Structure 1
Amino acid sequence: MKGVFIMCTGLRFNDSEGNLYFGRNLDVESTYGEKVIVTPRNYELPYKFLENGKTTKAIIGMGIMAGDYPMYFDCINENGLGIAGLNFPRYAYFTEGPVDGKTNMAPYEFMLWLMEEFDTVEEAKKGLANLNLVDAPFAPQMPVAPLHWIISDKKESVVVEQTKDGLKVYDNHVGVLTNNPDYPWHMTNLNNYAGLTPNDATTHDWNGQEIRPLGVGTGSLGLPGDSIPASRFVKVAYLNANYPTVDGEKANVAKFFNILKSVAMVDGSVINEQGKDEYTVYTGCFSTKTNTYYYNRFDDFEMKSVQFTEENMNADKVTIY
């Protein structure tokens, strides 16, 4: 995975019944061979700086297996706490070694640790107060990815970033995360788009000249449409704020994919710093209403799904779909 430059967009919202829909786009120059993975209860969790443990709850999401270790891009536990890791290059900073008095762990361990230790964002916020992420790779050929994370449950969402200023946890009311710059910058930047509205502009008189809108959508003139992280953040935040509340699982999954597909990178439209085409490899969404992970891929728009079951939650090994 060395040298791969990953971009991505995360999203969360609730339906009218309070169920969480949570997931992301993964934008990258090539696939990793990622699959939907269910980590069962009672599965070994080795740590570099903490005492080893075992899972007490099942976890589902998209990722790859590194030996027997599930490496998730996004996942959620059986009690409805979800997390997604997004690229944060040149801003993410992990300490050279463990820090005394801190809960120290490698960044790749963070997602599984969070899934096991907590069931709500409120609980996680308290546990994150003493966390320190150490620049420790899983293996020499797998360098540490510079990530930040969006964490959500059915009530709230936060963003976690560790920079040279330390580890910060930010409330995330818009339910969105992309990439650089840091989360406070994105929130300040949203103020530049305060004039956007789903309502069409009206006709005006300019010194006797009637200025009439041409077509529909004039209220959102200026809504970004390019693929840089700042633009994707603004567009998804705007759509998430204005998309009507819909009822039922099917309609809410469609809502989720409609929003994220609006910022999907089409193959050939973006060439990254390494000279590689970057595109949206998959879009994934978990629904707490039915405990189902939905996904489709850039080369196959057929919607696929995997559900928590008693069988995969209590298996004696990871289930890969």
Structure 2
Amino acid sequence: MCTAMTLHTQSHEIFFGRTMDFSHDIIPQLYIVPSSYVWHNTLNNNPIKNPYSFIGLGQELDGILGFFDGVNEKGFAAAVLYFAGYAHYASQVSPKTALPIASIDFLQYILGRCSSVKELPYLLKDINLVGIPDPVTGSIAPLHWIAADKNGDCAVVEPTINGLTIRNNPIGVMANSPDFSWHLTNLRNYMGASPVQTEEVCWDSLRLTPFGQAGGTVPLPGGFTSPERFVRTAYLKAHLPEPKNSSEALAACFHIMESVSIPKGAVLTSRNTYDYTKYTAFINTNTCEYFFKTYDDINLKTASLTQGLNLYKTRL
């Protein structure tokens, strides 16, 4: 369970971020990966060199480094989310022209090699995405990805029974299952949601007035399922006044994600574990800065490719 979104400012900066909701224990670390870094393909241990440097949140376990989200020096950002019940990976047997890439390596692969969303389709046609068990869950995690860049483009990459597909994301929002096309169609169920409300109606001779403000938001769903989180995020983003600058955008990003952040205890899995928001992170794709806070530490921190990790102090 995760939610992701993009946000544009009047000063032409693009923010990209997500909530990381998970029921397994993870200890995310911040990594700065230099350009020309050589890593080894989890599938066959073959070396792969990254043309671009990037900064990302991830975790290394049992010798496998997996990234959850990140941004590279070109302002290309991406994140991985769960795609339960819909993800379908290819087998390791593939044409010799296709490079086999493990699903848990895919984010590192595109962050290290892709300069923009427009470039993504050209990378996808040359790879064969293979699902392998990850060390956190011990299973083949069902995954899909959202990508954005400093030009304002956004796309969703999903491995389905029809192959590895990429689709333009016109709304800049993503959650979990079902597939992205379903989520876009589902928004039609909430066309009546509005920031304004009806001030008075009459039923026969009875005059009815609202209790207060926000009557137009009654149609919005309130749960933590993927469709409900997608709808709430899309609604809030669509009706938000466009931020003037990066400071306004950062505040808006975290406020929107508060509406879909899951507190511990709200969702309990069949394994009797809590599924909750481990961290929330946003990236300024123009400056390659990271802004994030964790469940246990709500102080906002920042990091960048050039400056490292520092406490981000704001005036209240």
Written as runs of structure 1 = structure 2, the 5 A alignment for 1:139-218 is 142-154=138-150, 155-218=152-215
Sequence identity (%): 31
Q: Say whether the 8 Å CA contact 2:19–2:281 is kept in structure 1.
A: yes
Counterpart position of 1:65: 60
Q: Say whether the 8 Å CA contact 2:5–2:17 is kept in structure 1.
A: yes
Partners of 1:227 and 1:78 in 2: how far apart? 34
Evaluate the alpha carbon distance shift between residue 92 and residue 308 of structure 1 in structure 2; reply closer, same or farther with a 3 A threshold.
same
Match for residue 38 of structure 1 among 32, 35, 47: 32
* 1:30 CA drift (Å): 4.4
Partners of 1:27 and 1:243 in 2: how far apart? 24
* 1:54 CA drift (Å): 1.9
Q: CA RMSD in A?
A: 2.2
1:9 equivalent to 2:6? Answer no
Evaluate the alpha carbon distance shift between residue 37 and residue 232 of structure 1 in structure 2; reply closer, same or farther with a 3 A threshold.
same
TM-score, normalised by the number of residues in structure 1? 0.89
Counterpart position of 1:268: 265
Match for residue 115 of structure 1 among 104, 111, 115: 111
1:88 equivalent to 2:83? Answer yes
TM-score, normalised by the number of residues in structure 2? 0.90
Counterpart position of 1:223: 220
Q: Which amino acid aligns with 1:257?
A: F
Cα deviation digits, residues 222-255 of structure 1 (max 9, x gap):
2111100010000001111111111222221111
Partners of 2:227 and 2:212 in 1: how far apart? 27
Partners of 1:57 and 1:64 in 2: how far apart? 20
Q: Say whether the 8 Å CA contact 1:31–1:281 is kept in structure 2.
A: no
Evaluate the alpha carbon distance shift between residue 15 and residue 189 of structure 1 in structure 2; reply closer, same or farther with a 3 A threshold.
same
* 1:194 CA drift (Å): 0.8
Cα deviation digits, residues 69-92 of structure 1 (max 9, x gap):
542111111111111100111211
Q: How many residues align?
A: 307
Evaluate the alpha carbon distance shift between residue 193 and residue 272 of structure 1 in structure 2; reply closer, same or farther with a 3 A threshold.
same
Counterpart position of 2:314: none
Cα deviation digits, residues 84-130 of structure 1 (max 9, x gap):
10011121111222321434311112111111221110111232244
Partners of 1:194 and 1:283 in 2: how far apart? 28
Q: Say whether the 8 Å CA contact 2:102–2:130 is kept in structure 1.
A: yes
Which structure 2 residue ranges, 5 or more long, are not aligned? Answer: 312-316
Evaluate the alpha carbon distance shift between residue 37 and residue 140 of structure 1 in structure 2; reply closer, same or farther with a 3 A threshold.
closer
Q: Say whether the 8 Å CA contact 2:291–2:303 is kept in structure 1.
A: yes
Q: Which amino acid aligns with 2:287?
A: T
Q: Tell me which moved more, 59-68 or 117-126.
A: 59-68
3-state SS in 2 of match to 1:84: strand
* 1:28 CA drift (Å): 1.4
Partners of 2:133 and 2:194 in 1: how far apart? 45
Q: Say whether the 8 Å CA contact 2:11–2:245 is kept in structure 1.
A: no
1:22 equivalent to 2:16? Answer yes
1:99 equivalent to 2:99? Answer no
Q: Say whether the 8 Å CA contact 1:249–1:289 is kept in structure 2.
A: no
